[in-house]
Structure 1
Amino acid sequence: MARKSSKTTKITSVTDFISKALQWKHNGRAPTAFRGQKFYNWPTLPKIFRPDLGISEQEHKIVREISTLHPDDFTNDATSFERLVRMQHYGLPTRLLDVTQNPLVALWFASEECTAEEVGPNSDEGESMDGKVQAFFVPERRDTYFDSDRVSLLANMSWLNAECKEKIWKHIEDEIDEFNKLPEVDKLFYQVSLERPSFRSGRIDPNDLKLPLFVRPKLSNKRILAQFGAFVIYGREWSSRKQREKVDEKINMHVRRYLIPAEHKEKIRGELARLGVHANTLFPEIESTANVLIKRFKMDS
């Protein structure tokens, strides 16, 4: 069985999880959001940045293609962030990371069965894998709503090609005036101004592009509402831990991780179901309910 350091906190039941969750504090503050993953070693990254997919350089083409092929689906989306939320909902890789404001929802996702075949060639065939719950402690400076200027900046990075984004990152430490002289920054400003004509600053502060933001979205679809959903939006993936550690602690998200041992997942799922946390409640769309019913009655037959 895949295991972490003995210092890693292990969760063996819902009662155990709740008792620990109520004590989670960082600098006197409770967690802002949570994320559950069925495999402990998967990186905490938006799907578009996952190295195994290798598609991040094509992001600008991906968002344009789906908008071109399915324009009616995005008619009611006023901003690039709202479009990214819808793309994420349909399973398209984006620069958004799904999180939840309900720790039990995160536990449900972390306790999903996961086998070695799903995670790569370095595990024994048929081996069940541990999951994890992460608690995010978000500084107030990086706790935002869907209509934030900074959210608009990060969301609209998705429309720029790889060369344009690379030039922006190369000059990210420039002074504001010098940074805004770049034609690549002007392209980003143009994209933002399409949805925010009164973009208040008239220029872009490079500091607003550096770090991910926690975003409280509109509760505009059933799944976000049912899962107490929110997002972390990324400008880019930091290339090294050293870069991340240079960020001031006052604005850097603190993350704690809790291991969900594979042998306890089934029991935890059963306990969560008794509390009303199950697939039917978390995926309320009719097509999702239909799939759950098929699976349930197939098992009963």
Structure 2
Amino acid sequence: MDHNKECDLNISNYISEINTTEIRSVSDFLNVLKDEVVDINPKYKKRVFRGLSKKSYINIDYPSIYRNPENDSTFEPFVKYEHEMFYDLVSRFPEQFSSCNNTFEHLVMMQHYGFPTRLLDVTTNPLVALYFACVNGQGYVDNDEDGAVTIYDLFEINIHNYESNTITILSNLAKINQSYTPFYAYYNLLVKIIDSLQNGANPYRGFLLSNIFIACIKPLITQFDLLYKTEKEDILRKFLTYERDKIKIDQLKTELCLLIENEKRDYKLIYNKLLELKDFFQYIKELHFNRSGSLDQELTLYDHILEDKKYSISKLVYPEDIIGVFYVRPKLNNPRIINQNGAFLLFGFAGQDKTKLDPPRCHYRLKATKKYTNHPIDIIIPKQYKQVIHDELKQLGIHQAFLFPEIDKVAQVITKEYKIKKCQ
């Protein structure tokens, strides 16, 4: 099954299968990690932790850009205006952002100041996550609701350094409006595969490497299906203006599949059909997207990518660059990230049939599992034990002044320490 379809399938049922384990102390927490959470091989996976002050946040644990203001559904989600918000903040504080070398660093700084972004804070230190599960946004112990620590195990393929091509591309989604869709990424991939087949296949030499040729075409058919039709909606057909174009795309797909499946393959016919397919995609792109203006967003995205000159790239945007969730190893260039053992999950499109407004939820399937059950596990911190755990963490050096070493935060901590009642 396609990974993106799998991610979208029965996600609510998947969340409902999550096992929860309650703890009452730091030692309980460490014992759960040791005895109940399945072990991983660090060569192939990266384990990260996230503390939630309210366990009700588990079901909406995605970046703030996808949320509604004040979590009120009567407001539009921030992501609808992401590109405008991005430029609005930078234009008002140009000096603060002048040290940023690329768009990802802009997003990190915005996240630092609590601005809605497509980043999700995580840590490699479980005790840091436990601290955040006990306190609210102001650093006070939150006794209103149980907290939770959620754990994600990420595959090596989803782990990137801050300057990687994928992170550069994905970060720049913040600068374009919601008319951009994954259509372009699949279009680019299709054309790339067709071009490589054209360059490597000479119809006048009888396709001597016919088995290799067919092996190359099979992923083309797979990508064609992803682009053309999904279980939920017909992605490509909705962009076709004229009925004759809808008939043509049906015809092309049917003919190409029949040619591939035929035991007596006519490689010259397959070759010519690929050229016809490529021409048709170019026609669609020019006819519809130029007229609708959404092609401008594809060009705008690529221009933004090239603006990150230090990490500029020459390739086009492909599906693996914009769909899914990625772990980013950040620059350790500020004390807060260092002390929190901080990192980020960077979110792209939820799937090939999604818009920019749909929050990705694939990361729920990356949750760590409970031993012997294969079900995801979350660790719950009952509200009545938060203060006890908070105090134990302080004895271990995990406290607000350490995790937020900026002068304004430390000043708040010192002020609280001198909040002393008068002697009676």
TM-score by length of 1: 0.82
Matched residue SS, 1:58: helix
1:20 aligns with 2:32: yes
Q: What's 2:62 paired with?
A: 45
CA distance in 2, matches of 1:171, 1:203: 10
Q: What's 1:153 paired with?
A: 169
> Are the counterparts in 2 of residues 113 and 128 from structure 1 also a CA contact under 8 Å?
no
Distance 1:197 1:277, change over 3 A: closer
CA distance in 2, matches of 1:283, 1:201: 39
- TM-superposed CA distance for 1:56, in Å, is 1.3
The unaligned stretches of length 5 or more in structure 2 are: 1-15, 192-226, 228-281, 286-294, 369-376
> Are the counterparts in 1 of residues 123 and 129 from structure 2 also a CA contact under 8 Å?
yes
CA distance in 1, matches of 2:90, 2:103: 11
1:226 aligns with 2:326: no
Larger radius of gyration: 2
Give the structure with the higher percent helix: 2
Q: What's 1:10 paired with?
A: 22
CA distance in 1, matches of 2:308, 2:34: 41
- TM-superposed CA distance for 1:254, in Å, is 3.1
Distance 1:111 1:237, change over 3 A: farther
- TM-superposed CA distance for 1:154, in Å, is 1.1
The correspondence of residues 262-273 of structure 1 with structure 2, limited to 5 A, is 262-273=383-394
- TM-superposed CA distance for 1:253, in Å, is 2.6
Distance 1:293 1:27, change over 3 A: closer
Deviations 1:188-229 (A, max 9, x none): 111111114774452111222110101010011111111111
The correspondence of residues 39-188 of structure 1 with structure 2, limited to 5 A, is 39-42=54-57, 43-51=60-68, 52=71, 54-112=77-135, 128-163=144-179, 165=180, 168-169=181-182, 173-174=186-187, 176-177=189-190, 182-188=295-301
CA distance in 1, matches of 2:65, 2:330: 20
> Are the counterparts in 2 of residues 172 and 210 from structure 1 also a CA contact under 8 Å?
no
- TM-superposed CA distance for 1:186, in Å, is 2.4
Deviates more, 1:43-52 or 1:196-205: 196-205
CA distance in 1, matches of 2:169, 2:100: 16
Q: What's 1:297 paired with?
A: 418
The one-letter amino acid paired with 1:284 is P
CA distance in 2, matches of 1:97, 1:6: 21
The unaligned stretches of length 5 or more in structure 1 are: 115-125
CA distance in 2, matches of 1:257, 1:91: 25
Q: What's 2:7 paired with?
A: none
Q: What's 1:190 paired with?
A: 303
- TM-superposed CA distance for 1:40, in Å, is 0.4
Aligned residues: 279
Q: What's 1:119 paired with?
A: none
TM-score by length of 2: 0.60
- TM-superposed CA distance for 1:64, in Å, is 0.3
CA distance in 2, matches of 1:65, 1:104: 36
Distance 1:131 1:172, change over 3 A: farther
CA distance in 1, matches of 2:384, 2:136: 10
2:379 to 223, 236, 258: 258
Identity rate, percent:
32
Q: What's 2:325 paired with?
A: 212
